[in-house]
Amino acid sequence: MSASNPAPEKKRGLLVALVAGVFLLVALVAAALLVNIAERKQEAKNSTVRLADVTENDVDPAKWGTNWPREYDGYKRTSEPSHTKYGGGYGGAEGVVPPQKAARDPWLTRIFAGYLFAVDYRDRRGHAFMLFDQENTKRNVQAEGKQSGNCMHCHASIMPLYRKLGKDAAPQASEAEQLQKGLEAVGALGYWDAHKQLEQLTGKVHPVSCVDCHDPKSMELRVTRPAFVAGIQKLAVSKAAVPHLPSIERWRSGDRARPYDPNVDATRQEKRSYVCGQCHVEYFCGKGTTIFFPWAEGLRVEDMEKQYNSIEVKGARFKDWTHAETGMEVLKAQHPEFEMWSQGIHARSGVACADCHMSYRRDGAQKISEHWVRSPLLSANRSCASCHPYSDEELKSRVEAIQDRHFALMSRAGQAAIAMIDAIVAVRKPYDDQNRPAAAAKAKETFEKNSDFAKLGKEDQDKKLAAETKANLLAAWRAVVDKDPAIKELGELQRAAQWRLDMVAAENSMGFHAPQEMARILAESIDLSRQAQVKAGEVLSGKVAVAGAASAPTKGPKRMSP
Amino acid sequence: MKTNRGFSLLPVPLTLAAAAAGLAIGVGAYAFWYAKGSSYMGNDPATCANCHVMAAHYSGWQAAPHHDVATCNDCHTPAGAISKYTVKALNGWHHSWAFTMGGYPDVIRARPESSAVVEANCRRCHSDLVDSMTQGGNVSCVRCHASVGHAR
């Protein structure tokens, strides 16, 4: 030992210190790893901790969020803008409304002429905005009061109001009956009246939230919306084939002692679609009716059409509106995602809405359902790859190939619809030209007796006169349509063609939910539009005699000869 | 004086080093035990589901036709002892890194090296039947027989 030489000793000391440092580092990493492993083990053990007690009346998701923070985080993220090639628009930052759909598909404005959707019809955005966007669309201006309380069925967490009004209306009835009563009561209110009543009841009106799909006691999935329950019960008692909903087929083969109950009979996997089907469906909710889903004949486009065509409102066949250009009574489709999914291969294979749109996500050692509900294209690995083991790029390009083809076909159908409208307008025009003097005179006559009208300024008077003249022209034209089978047929063709086109256009998947079915529907729509165009041409050219023209209130117009 | 000087210089770093070594070995050993480290040397399929990521694969294997005749290791590690433990070590490193650091895809897919191990094991047991079928061709067994190992 060369104690007299301090240098090697110092070196050895340094070496020892270095070794100690390395050991310390190893100990540190081992400790960190240990903590991490312990955390993962803990995560796997306790998935939730109930800190707050939640009840049926807790419509505020923030309270639920204290118990289920991971799910709540996802729910909140639905406010973030997201888009795919065809969906969601390129809205940009949060709070910016998405672009008008008609900016991409100009034919939408033509087929919706005379309806509120020609005024404002924007691309969709996340769940967080469902209520805000409804409160702010130009279709629902408070001063105009055009919408009913029915609309809140799907845009607000409204169950407490249904329960309260249902209990008031029928204190002795069962819970289900009371809900139906409550639904009727809210439907009879104007939108903004219902909004106010709900606000008084729950403090603040919330968009659809946790309680609308989860039982607060067990967190089990459940459906709450009375219109869905009524609709699926009608579907259950119908003869429509529903191979993708095995619980309905089981119920049908049973004794049917009680109505089909989605919350009792359905499997968990079916409920993972039912909860979405409470709102992502075709429905009617106009003023004066209680919202209903047209499922009594089945879920296909012609099943729903059949039902709408067999319903009478105030003695006349059901219509959504009268087309402003052609004067024909037509139908409006909503967003039939549940119905279209029902026609597709994914439904048939037992794949639920939530499997793709709320796919399972790992969070540490936990597996949770993603509550940031959005397009599966934005999470292809989680949404698709669990069954289709391919790369994200491959999966996306497969879906986009379907969507590109679908968009091309739909645009063709839109063009065909415009050609049809042009052709029917050409048939109507000579009638309007001939009827205009009488219609204007009648309008003047109507307002001459009206003392309020005299008080109006010239501009307002002219506006009212023009509107009344237009209404008189329409009435005269409707009389022609009703009398003349050839012209009536044009209306039937337009109704059927537009119903099919809109059913596809309003559906949010750009064809993906059921590509073949939607191609079939579009093919029918194109065919019907072109049939209408051909028949309108025959009427115009005099090839088809129009009986109504001779017996029309005013003398029939001269046909243009070829 | 010499000894005194030596003693006064050595004990501090040496003691420190010894303590550090003891700490590292102690904590490391505890972590190894706590994480069921020794189970990874064995052949029990439940081990692979230790970290929860494999829970679905594990239950899929239990429901699949091969669960009576093949464990995880029979398909996912090579047959030879040295290559088996090399693959185990490599995969163990990848898996623990991914599970600790996060950021891996929810639906995981085999790396090409891992697929090659599986394919080789299919042929190891089924050579009598498949050798003549696959001769000269680059044929993947699991491309068609995807659910023999893990039922869906």
Instruction: Write down the ipTM of this complex.
Output: 0.74
- Show which residues on chain B lie within 8 Å of chain A, measured between beta carbons: 2, 5-6, 9-10, 13-14, 16-17, 19-21, 23-24, 26-28, 30-31, 34-35, 51-53, 55, 99-100, 102, 105-107, 109, 146, 152
Q: How confident is the model at residue B18 (pLDDT cuts 50, 70, 90)?
A: confident
Structure tokens at A324: 């402003």
At A140, is the secondary structure helix, strand, or coil?
helix
Mutate to test the interface with A, among B1, B4, B10, B27 (most CBs of A within 10 A): B27
Which residues of chain A, if any, have pLDDT below 70? 1-6, 89-96, 547-562
Please state, in angstroms and rounded to a whole number, the distance separating the CA atoms of residues A237 and A197: 35
Burial class of residue B33 in the structure, from the number of CB atoms within 10 Å of its CB (0-12 exposed, 13-18 middle, 19+ buried): exposed
Kindly report the nearest CA distance between residue A10 and chain B, in angstroms: 9
Q: Are the beta carbons of B2 and A3 separated by less than 8 Å?
A: yes
Whether B20 sits inside 8 A of A36 (CB atoms) is no
Residues 6+ apart with CB under 8 A from A193: A149
Q: Quick one: which of A364, A285, A294, A408 has its CA closest to B106? A: A364
Chain A residues contacting B via beta carbons under 8 Å: 1, 3, 9, 13, 16-17, 19-24, 26-27, 30-31, 33-34, 36-38, 40, 44, 359-362, 364-365, 367, 381-382, 385-387, 389
Interface contact flag, B17 A360, Cβ < 8 Å: no
Instruction: Give me the pLDDT at residue B146, please.
Output: 86
A2 CA: distance to closest CA in chain B (Å): 10
Sequential DSSP letters for A96-129? PPPPBGGGT-THHHHHTTTSGGGT--B----GGG
Q: Which residues of A476-509 are buried (b: 16+ CB within 10 A; e: fewer)?
A: bbebbbebbebbebbbbbbbbbbbbbbbbbbbbb
Which residues in chain B have Cβ-Cβ distances shorter than 8 Å to A13? 9-10, 13
Residue A1: its chain B contacts at CB < 8 A?
2, 6
CA A218 – CA B128 distance, rounded (Å): 54
- HEC sequence for A455-498: HCCHHHHHHHHHHHHHHHHHHHHHHHHHHCHHHHHHHHHHHHHH
Contacts of A16 in chain B (CB under 8 A): 13-14, 16-17
Cα(A283)–Cα(A338) distance, rounded to whole angstroms? 11
CA distance A85 to A77: 20
| Contact yes or no for A381 and B146 at CB 8 A | no
Are residues B100 and A17, on separate chains, in Cβ contact within 8 Å? no
Instruction: Find, in chain A, the residue whose alpha carbon is nearest to that of B30.
Output: A34
pLDDT by residue (tens digit) across A497-520?
999 999 999 999 999 999 999 999
Which residue's structure tokens are 């009879």? A188
Cβ contact B31–A381 (<8 Å): no
Q: What pLDDT, on a 0 to 100 scale, did the predictor assign at position A554?
A: 41
Q: Cβ(A17)–Cβ(B17) under 8 Å? A: yes
Q: How far is B8 from chain A (nearest CA, A)?
A: 12
> Is there a contact between A21 and B20 if contact means CB atoms under 8 Å apart?
yes
Residues A351-365: b if buried by 16+ CB within 10 A, e if exposed: bbbbbbbbbbbbeeb
Could you give the CA distance from residue A446 to residue A463 in angstroms, rounded to a whole number?
A: 14
pLDDT tens digits, residue range B43-99? 999 999 888 888 889 999 999 999 999 999 999 999 999 999 999 999 999 998 998
For B49, the token pair is 């589901």
| Substitution target from A4, A16, A39, A43 for chain B, most B beta carbons within 10 A | A16
**pLDDT computed for residue A126 by the predictor:** 84
Helix (H, G, I), strand (E, B) or coil at A491: helix
**Chain-chain contact of B28 with A30 (C-beta, under 8 angstroms):** yes
pLDDT confidence of residue B10? 56
Q: Pick the closest to residue A522 from A497, A551, A490 (CA basis).
A: A497
Residues of B in contact with A385 (CB under 8 A): 105, 107, 109
Specify the pLDDT at position A409.
Answer: 97
Residues A182, A176: Cα–Cα separation, whole Å: 10
Residues of B in contact with A20 (CB under 8 A): 13, 16-17, 19-21
pLDDT at A91: 52
Contact A23 B27 (CB under 8 A): no
The band of B8, judged by pLDDT with boundaries at 50, 70 and 90, is low
A27 and B28 in contact by Cβ < 8 A?
Answer: yes
Range list of β-strands (E), A344-405: 360-363, 366-369
From chain B, the residues in CB contact with A365 under 8 A are: 51-52
